[in-house]
Amino acid sequence: MIGYSFGLRKDGFPTKSNSALAMWANTVNEMLAPDITILQTEIAECVNFNPSLIIKNHKRKNEYLDTEEVTVQAVDFLKELINQNEEYSLYVYIIAHQWLHWSKCMREVKKCLKKSEIKGNVIFIRGCIIPFDAKSDQWYTRGHIRALLYAILQLMGKKTVN
């Protein structure tokens, strides 16, 4: 299972989105009992189990930890474990915000697995509605319209500022 956070609050409190993602991660962990759980720190701080890996920072100092970097670190971790066990059957369960973010996470995981020559199935686990958070520090995670505008800017190749 890979859990991607959505939004950030510098006041130390989790966003509504990340609290809901953590509750969903708890449920998926109980239902499916994945062997490996990889979570971004904003979700990991709110779950009731110990993840296999917590991703907190970009590998390059002072770089923004984006979806792509979370995926690279997660797949690198999986690759190390797979190298230790040649006989594996990999199912990667994605926990992510259901409004735009999940599809990006799916694409990135599939791309990284292919690049790393790892065979596996990538599954987005739907099941609960993850809210936006008007108090998030990232403007595009505060609501539907902002997220849509962000997605359009991303498609146009524009770098956006948090």
Per the domain annotation, does 149 fall within a domain? no
Domain limits for position 99: 2-132
Per the domain annotation, does 158 fall within a domain? no
Report the number of distinct structural domains present in the chain: 1
Mean pLDDT along residues 78-87: 83
Per the domain annotation, does 151 fall within a domain? no
Q: How confident is the model at residue 10 (pLDDT cuts 50, 70, 90)?
A: confident
Per the domain annotation, does 141 fall within a domain? no
Per the domain annotation, does 146 fall within a domain? no
Per the domain annotation, does 110 fall within a domain? yes
Give the tens place of pLDDT for each residue, 19-44. 999 999 999 999 999 999 999 999 99
Distance between CA atoms of 151 and 158, rounded to whole angstroms? 10
Q: Please tell me the predicted confidence (pLDDT) of residue 159.
A: 63
Q: Which strand ranges, in their side-by-side order, compose the sheet holding 91-95? A: 53-55, 38-40, 2-3, 91-95, 121-124
Per the domain annotation, does 147 fall within a domain? no
